[in-house]
């Protein structure tokens, strides 16, 4: 079978695009190899025939036969000597063309012999290696053979001699079609290879960019595979591990010093040891997803660090679990600063409370004097109201500042009380304030409802919610106050027709010291945060539904009985504070 030049030459697409699978030298020698291989096949067969003719009897023109043999061998030597890579591709076609001349001489030496089968070699080479022009050249050579042999052979020509050109034409057509099909497949494969090369390059580039981005951030990232193996970590995670004394270990589940001693882990309060099995990576390996777990690593008496750790589950295209991503961020400085701020505020507030209490005591004594002029009494009453308001603000600041970073540390003494009576008393106390702005307080929704709560703390929550509902309401608006129970849980609802709360404010409304961006926004930003802490201290929850321009609704859910409170505490892992 002839070897086509295109079989070993690089695809045109790759050459044009600048992508060369071979070196320049290797690519230039493909034409030489194709010529040498094709010609060597013909020369081998001719040489064997020449040996057979030389050793045995030959009924034809021996001189003409060997002249053709010599011409084939000369052409074979030329294919080895001529640098075909430096010539135009068409020059190679001269070799099979001259081979046809040599084969005609060999065939003329004995027209009735099967020596004409040698035509298969140049015909195959031309039709397979030179495209349409090569096929036309092969057909032209076959026609020339007929034109020469028919007059020479005359009546001595056999049917085999006439059949040979037809067979050669069929072979030429078959090789041409096969070569074209191979060219098409090769072109397709070249395009696919180029596409895969581009995809691979793009994937490598994206991987490099992702690695650079992960190494540039200041928080640790761990990619956990579906089988629990750590697939990816970034430089920040390694720095955190070194800071924790974990050497070059790659997980947060068991950080330790280089000698292998375990670093103790504590809850967000920094004092309670983390329960066994609750370390962040252990939870992630169990398939859990969590957000913002704060863990202190290190003894309270020594250097330590706090990490805020989040785990997110990943899924593959079929929806199956594909592992998780664990993100850890060093929040030691933030938590230390918050505690320092709370300590400072608590210290200042405590120092303010003593003189304020003394001021209020002397104001009460002065107001008890029956001979006090009305003008002076009015001034003292104004001073007393402002002093009481200032004392309330100081109390709120103290309640918030004496807490852990996550919730207020409040003293709660719950008992079975009537939520509707406490709410009704709070509404009556707020009535003068509401009437000053023509705001009505609707209490028709106060259904009899028992609750397991500290009455003083529950009153503090309702007072705060009613005060906000009036402050952020429209003049002439209304406030709806309601209570209900199902025997297990009790709900307190406060709804207003005020300006509402924007989505941005809702996300941070229960954060301490945060003040909503409402037109009437005043105060310390502690009221709702303290309400939330009180409700949670009872084992309950507080929720908010609000639409800007429509109003807001606060819903407080508390246990209705002691048994319900105990059950809620058991399910959440912490009981109510006695």
pLDDT in tens, 256-310: 444 444 678 888 877 888 888 888 888 888 888 888 888 888 887 778 888 888 8
Of 219 and 458, more confident: 458
Tens digits of residue pLDDT in 541-559: 998 888 887 888 999 999 9
Average pLDDT rounded to a whole number, residues 12-40? 57
Class of domain 220-330: alpha beta
Residue in 468, 479, 481, 476 with CA at minimum distance from that of residue 520? 468
Give the per-residue pLDDT at 174: 85
Whether the pLDDT of residue 312 is over 80: the answer is yes
Whether the pLDDT of residue 501 is over 60: the answer is yes
Give the per-residue pLDDT at 19: 37
Give the per-residue pLDDT at 339: 77
Rg (CA), the chain: 48
Give percent of the chain above pLDDT 70: 78
Give the per-residue pLDDT at 92: 84
Average pLDDT rounded to a whole number, residues 198-223? 84
pTM of the predicted protein model: 0.44
| Alpha-carbon distance values, 88 to 31, 93, 134 (Å) | 10, 10, 15
Give the per-residue pLDDT at 287: 84
Which of 48-52, 262-266, 493-497 is predicted least confidently? 262-266
Of 123 and 1, more confident: 123
Give the per-residue pLDDT at 153: 54
Whether the pLDDT of residue 483 is over 90: the answer is yes
Average pLDDT rounded to a whole number, residues 160-174? 77
Give the per-residue pLDDT at 22: 34
Q: For 223-247, b where at least 16 C-beta lie within 10 A, e where not — what string? A: bbeeeeeeeebbebbbebbebbbbe
What is the distance between the alpha carbons of residues 96 and 10, in angstroms, rounded to a whole number?
Answer: 23
Residue in 42, 38, 54 with CA at minimum distance from that of residue 118? 42
Please answer whether residues 458 and 415 qualify as being in contact, where contact means their C-beta atoms are separated by less than 8 angstroms. no
- Largest pairwise CA distance in the chain: 162
Which of 17-21, 153-157, 270-274, 399-403 is predicted least confidently? 17-21
Residue in 286, 340, 279, 336 with CA at minimum distance from that of residue 306? 336
- Please give the helix or strand (H or E) that residue 291 lies within, else none: strand 290-297
Residue in 356, 344, 429, 346 with CA at minimum distance from that of residue 390? 356
- Residue 252, Cβ density class (10 Å: 0-12 exposed, 13-18 middle, ≥19 buried): buried
Please answer whether residues 560 and 539 qualify as being in contact, where contact means their C-beta atoms are separated by less than 8 angstroms. no
- Alpha carbon dihedral 145, 149, 151, 156, in 10-degree steps, equals -150
What is the distance between the alpha carbons of residues 449 and 466, in angstroms, rounded to a whole number?
Answer: 19
Which of 161-175, 373-387, 455-469, 512-526 is predicted least confidently? 512-526
Give the per-residue pLDDT at 197: 93
Question: What's the whole-number average pLDDT of the chain?
Answer: 78
Give the per-residue pLDDT at 350: 63
Of 44 and 503, more confident: 44
Give the per-residue pLDDT at 255: 45
Angle at 428 between CA 397 and CA 529, to 5 degrees: 25
Average pLDDT rounded to a whole number, residues 309-327? 86
Give the per-residue pLDDT at 243: 59
What is the distance between the alpha carbons of residues 119 and 20, in angstroms, rounded to a whole number?
Answer: 36
Whether the pLDDT of residue 103 is over 50: the answer is yes
> How would residue 166 be classed by pLDDT, with cut points 50, 70 and 90?
confident
Give the per-residue pLDDT at 517: 57
DSSP conformation class of 224:
E
Give the per-residue pLDDT at 118: 86
Average pLDDT rounded to a whole number, residues 90-115? 83
Instruction: Give me the residue spans of the domains in the chain.
Output: 5-196, 220-330, 336-401, 415-572
> How would residue 137 be classed by pLDDT, with cut points 50, 70 and 90?
confident
CATH fold for domain 415-572: Heat Shock Protein 90 (3.30.565)
Give me the residues paired with residue 326 across strands: 222, 311
- Please give the helix or strand (H or E) that residue 394 lies within, else none: helix 374-401
Residue 160 gets the label, from left (phi > 0), alpha (psi -120 to 50) or beta, of: alpha
Ordered DSSP codes for 21-40: SS-HHHHHTHHHHHHHHHHH
Q: How many other C-beta atoms can be found within 10 angstroms of the C-beta atom of residue 283?
A: 19
Residue carrying structure tokens 């997803």: 289
Which of 171-185, 346-360, 396-410 is predicted least confidently? 396-410
- Alpha carbon dihedral 532, 536, 537, 538, in 10-degree steps, equals 110
Of 526 and 17, more confident: 526
What is the distance between the alpha carbons of residues 425 and 428, in angstroms, rounded to a whole number?
Answer: 5
Give the per-residue pLDDT at 513: 63
- Residue 419, Cβ density class (10 Å: 0-12 exposed, 13-18 middle, ≥19 buried): buried
Whether the pLDDT of residue 420 is over 90: the answer is yes
Residue 549 gets the label, from left (phi > 0), alpha (psi -120 to 50) or beta, of: left
Would strands 305-315 and 415-418 be described as parallel, antiparallel, or unpaired? Answer: unpaired
What is the distance between the alpha carbons of residues 281 and 241, in angstroms, rounded to a whole number?
Answer: 13
CATH assignment of 336-401, among 1.20.140, 1.10.10, 1.10.287, 3.40.50: 1.10.287
| Coil, strand or helix at 558 | strand
Would strands 440-446 and 478-485 be described as parallel, antiparallel, or unpaired? Answer: parallel
Give me the residues paired with residue 13 across strands: none
Average pLDDT rounded to a whole number, residues 164-173? 82
Average pLDDT rounded to a whole number, residues 36-65? 85
Average pLDDT rounded to a whole number, residues 525-539? 82
Both tokens of residue 449?
Answer: 């409802």
Query: Of 64-73, 367-376, 408-417, which one has max mean pLDDT?
Result: 64-73
What is the distance between the alpha carbons of residues 89 and 509, in angstroms, rounded to a whole number?
Answer: 81
> How would residue 14 be classed by pLDDT, with cut points 50, 70 and 90?
very low
Which of 115-129, 144-158, 357-371, 422-436 is predicted least confidently? 144-158
Give the per-residue pLDDT at 192: 92
Give the per-residue pLDDT at 402: 53
Tens digits of residue pLDDT in 222-257: 888 888 787 777 777 777 766 565 443 444 444 444
What is the distance between the alpha carbons of residues 20 and 4, in angstroms, rounded to a whole number?
Answer: 19
What are the backbone dihedrals phi and psi of residue 47, each rounded to the nearest 5 degrees, phi first?
Answer: -65, -40
Residue in 543, 539, 542 with CA at minimum distance from that of residue 565? 539
Ordered DSSP codes for 434-467: HHTTT-EEEEEEE---EEEE-HHHHHHHHHHHHH
In angstroms, the first-to-last Cα distance of the chain is: 98
| Coil, strand or helix at 206 | helix
């Amino acid at each position: 079978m002839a070897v086509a030049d295109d079989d070993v030459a690089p695809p045109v697409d790759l050459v044009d695009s600048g992508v060369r699978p071979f070196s320049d030298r290797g690519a230039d020698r493909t034409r030489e190899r194709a010529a040498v291989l094709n010609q060597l096949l013909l020369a081998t067969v001719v040489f064997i025939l020449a040996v057979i003719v030389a050793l045995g009897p030959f009924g034809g023109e021996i001189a003409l036969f060997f002249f053709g043999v010599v011409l084939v061998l000369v052409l074979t030597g030329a294919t080895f000597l001529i640098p075909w890579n430096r010539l135009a591709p068409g020059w190679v076609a001269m070799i099979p063309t001259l081979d046809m001349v040599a084969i005609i001489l060999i065939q003329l030496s004995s027209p009735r012999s099967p020596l004409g089968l040698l035509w298969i070699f140049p015909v195959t080479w031309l039709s397979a290696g030179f495209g349409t022009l090569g096929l036309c050249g092969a057909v032209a050579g076959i026609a020339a053979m007929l034109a020469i042999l028919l007059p020479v052979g005359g009546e001595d020509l056999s049917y085999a001699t006439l059949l040979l050109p037809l067979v050669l034409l069929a072979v030429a057509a078959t090789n041409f079609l096969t070569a074209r099909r191979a060219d098409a497949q090769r072109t397709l494969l070249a395009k696919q290879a180029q596409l895969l090369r581009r995809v691979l390059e793009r994937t490598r580039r994206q991987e490099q960019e992702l690695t650079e981005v992960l190494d540039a951030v200041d928080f640790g990232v761990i990619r956990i595979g579906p089988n629990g193996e750590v697939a990816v970590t970034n430089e920040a995670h390694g720095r955190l591990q070194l800071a924790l004394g974990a050497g070059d270990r790659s997980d947060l589940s068991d950080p330790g010093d280089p000698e292998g001693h375990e670093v103790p882990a504590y809850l967000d309060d920094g004092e309670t040891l983390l329960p066994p099995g609750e370390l962040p990576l252990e939870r992630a390996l169990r398939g859990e997803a969590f957000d913002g777990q704060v863990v202190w690593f290190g003894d309270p008496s020594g250097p330590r660090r706090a990490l805020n750790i989040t785990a997110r589950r990943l899924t593959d295209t079929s929806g199956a679990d594909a592992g998780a991503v664990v993100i850890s961020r060093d929040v030691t400085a933030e938590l230390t600063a918050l505690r320092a701020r709370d300590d400072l505020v608590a210290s200042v507030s405590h120092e303010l409370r003593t003189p304020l209490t003394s001021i209020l005591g002397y104001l009460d004594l002065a107001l008890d004097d029956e001979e006090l002029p009305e003008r002076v009494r009015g001034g003292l009453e104004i001073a007393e109201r402002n002093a009481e308001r200032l004392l309330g603000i100081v109390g709120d600041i103290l309640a918030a500042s004496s807490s852990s970073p996550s919730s207020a540390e409040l003293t709660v003494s719950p008992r079975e009380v009537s939520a509707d009576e406490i709410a009704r008393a709070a509404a009556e106390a707020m009535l003068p304030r509401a009437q000053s702005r023509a705001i009505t307080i609707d209490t028709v929704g106060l259904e009899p409802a028992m609750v397991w709560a500290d009455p003083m703390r529950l009153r503090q929550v309702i007072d705060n919610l009613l005060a906000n509902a009036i402050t952020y309401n429209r003049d002439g608006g209304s406030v709806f106050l309601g209570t209900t129970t199902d025997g297990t849980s009790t709900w307190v609802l406060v709804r207003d027709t005020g300006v509402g709360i924007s989505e941005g404010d809702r996300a941070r409304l229960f954060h301490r010291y945060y003040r909503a961006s409402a037109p009437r926004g005043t105060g310390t930003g502690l009221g709702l945060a303290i309400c939330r802490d009180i409700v949670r201290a009872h084992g309950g929850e507080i929720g908010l539904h609000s639409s800007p321009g429509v109003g807001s609704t606060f819903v407080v859910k508390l246990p209705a009985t002691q048994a319900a409170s105990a059950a809620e505490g058991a399910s959440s892992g912490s009981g109510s504070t006695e």
